[in-house]
Structure formats: C-alpha cells, structure tokens
C-alpha cells in the first residue's frame, strides 16, 4: 500500500510532463504554420536571383540591349534581360532558383525574366537544357525559340537544339511534359519524345522517339543528380536558420 502511494505522485508528474511536451510541440508547429502562411507560396527568397553556377571554357555575358560583352564569372548574379554566350568547347550552368539552365558549346541564350513566379529565356542557337525538380502552382517556365514557344506542364528535364541556318528547332523531353505554341495548333510533347519544328513559327513539325542520350545529356544527368541530392524533400519541418535558399516550402523552426 505504501509503495502504491509513492508511485502515484511519480505517475502524475510523468503524465503532466508528457502533456506539457505535447502542448509545447503544438505551439511550435502553430508558430511555424503562422510564419509559413505569411510567406508567399511557394516560398522563395526575397527575390529569385539567376547566377552562373558552373562554367568551363569561355563564357561571356552582355546586356541584351547592348554589345558590351565581358567574361562571365563564377557565381556572378545575372540581371535580366541579359545574354549569355558559351564559346566553342565551352559549357555553362545557370541557377534560377528551383531549376537549372545548361548550355552546350557555341550556344546563345537570352535570359529575359527571372522572378518569384516566372522564368523565361530564349535559345537563339545551339543546345540548351532546362531541369526543373518542382513545378509549384502558378509558376511559369517558358522557353522561346525561333520556331516555337515552349511552356512547361510538369517538372522534368527538357532539351532544345536550335539550328538557325536550317530554320529548325528540336525539342526533346527526357522527363515531364511541355506544350509548344506558335501560329498553328499547339503541340504537346511528352517524356521520351522528340519533335522537330521548322518553317519559322508555322508549327510545322514531325514527332519521333527521343534519341539515346549523348555527352551533353550525360553531363546534365550527372549535374542533376549531384545538385538535387543536396536539396531537402518537397515539404517538411526544417530546423535551424536561415532556411534553405533554394529549398521548397515548409515550416522553418528557428
């Protein structure tokens, strides 16, 4: 009987501690939820900034309205509208927040818009790819070319080859789905397909199976695996501060 009386206060204390821990946890999650609701969805840094994340060989940049070309620098911020040129035997990788634009040799890209909800760029010539891991509600990724305008429908990996001398643009979808528009009916391109557009923006096209990956595709795949492996899951509770610069939305507990 004495032993039972001694155990009762311990049981009561343990129960109170467990209740207090539960209440504290709920308060922390409530604060995190309130803070998350004050942020735009999806969560972004104050301004999504494009930058040169990787380059090899000779890569140059210039304001699109001028011709003042200078050598690009690693981690250099890119303020649109800006033009990027990757010379012979050169490559470049542009970080645009949740996605990566990659350029092969002798490729010209014009970065037109990079903000919270829109990434828009034009491939003038050469080969470029766009890798998007998360496509959040309301986000727009658009690729302009001489023959068609491409709008992402799903996150994925997309490749564009522009051959201005032949008036042709090849669009290859490795993962995802994309819509092509122009002066004719729109065309949906799914994973595993390649579509060749020609005759300016008439939407004249031919669809075939995507070719096997080449050296450029292998490089894109290696870079995606290396960089995406560092990113947090799509949604969760993150401890510490600041939150991941390019991570997806969630609760950040300081």
Q: Please report, in tens digits, the pLDDT of each residue of the chain (254 residues total).
A: 444 445 445 544 555 555 555 545 555 455 444 443 434 334 444 478 999 999 999 999 999 988 899 999 999 999 999 999 999 999 999 999 889 999 999 999 999 999 999 999 999 999 999 999 999 999 999 999 999 999 999 999 999 999 999 999 999 999 999 999 999 999 999 999 999 999 999 999 999 999 999 999 999 999 999 998 765 555 443 333 334 444 444 433 33
Measured between its terminal Cα atoms, the distance across the chain in Å is 48
Q: In this predicted structure, what is the pLDDT of residue 67?
A: 86
Contact present, 81 and 116 (Cβ < 8 Å):
no
Q: Is residue 2 part of a domain?
A: no
How many domains, the chain?
A: 1
Query: Does any domain span residue 94?
Result: yes
Is position 60 within any domain?
yes
Nearest alpha carbon to residue 201 among 162, 157, 175 = 162
> What is the domain extent for residue 211?
50-228
What DSSP line would sit under 5-67, residue for residue?
A: HHHHHHHHHHHHHHHHHHHHHHHHHHHHHHHHHTS-SS---SS--EEEEEEES-EEEEETTS-
Asked if residue 145 belongs to a domain, the reply is yes
CB 135 within 8 A of CB 114: no
CA angle, residues 138, 142, 145, in degrees to nearest 5? 165
Question: Is residue 187 in a domain?
Answer: yes
Which residues does residue 51 pair with via DSSP β-bridges, in sequence order? 77, 95
Do the domain assignments include residue 18?
no
Kindly state whether residue 7 falls inside one of the protein's structural domains.
Answer: no
Query: Between β-strands 156-163 and 168-175, what pairing exists: parallel, antiparallel or unpaired?
Result: antiparallel
Domain CATH for 96: 2.60.120.1440
In angstroms, the CA 165 to CA 173 distance is 23
41 is a domain residue? no
Exposure on the CB side of residue 191, measured as CA atoms within 13 A: 8
């Amino acid at each position: 009987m004495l032993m039972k009386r001694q155990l009762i206060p311990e049981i009561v204390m343990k129960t109170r501690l467990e209740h207090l821990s539960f209440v504290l946890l709920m308060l922390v999650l409530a604060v995190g939820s309130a803070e998350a609701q004050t942020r735009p969805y999806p969560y972004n840094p104050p301004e999504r900034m494009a930058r040169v994340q990787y380059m090899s060989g000779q890569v140059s940049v210039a304001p699109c309205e001028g011709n003042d070309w200078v050598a690009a620098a690693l981690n250099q911020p890119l303020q649109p509208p800006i033009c990027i040129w990757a010379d012979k035997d050169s490559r470049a990788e542009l970080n645009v927040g949740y996605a990566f634009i990659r350029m092969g040799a002798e490729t010209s890209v014009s970065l037109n818009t990079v903000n919270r909800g829109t990434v828009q760029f034009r491939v003038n010539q050469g080969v470029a790819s766009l890798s998007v891991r998360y496509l959040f509600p309301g986000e727009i990724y658009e690729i302009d070319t001489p023959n068609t305008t491409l709008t992402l429908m799903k996150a994925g990996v997309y490749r564009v080859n522009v051959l201005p001398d032949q008036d042709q643009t090849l669009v290859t979808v490795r993962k995802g789905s994309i819509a092509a528009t122009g002066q004719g009916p729109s065309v949906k391109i799914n994973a595993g397909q390649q579509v060749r557009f020609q005759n300016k923006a008439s939407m004249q096209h031919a669809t075939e199976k995507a070719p096997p990956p080449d050296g450029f595709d292998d490089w894109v795949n290696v870079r995606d695996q290396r960089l995406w492996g560092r990113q947090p899951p799509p949604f969760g509770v993150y401890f510490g501060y600041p939150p991941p610069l390019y991570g997806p939305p969630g609760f950040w507990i300081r």
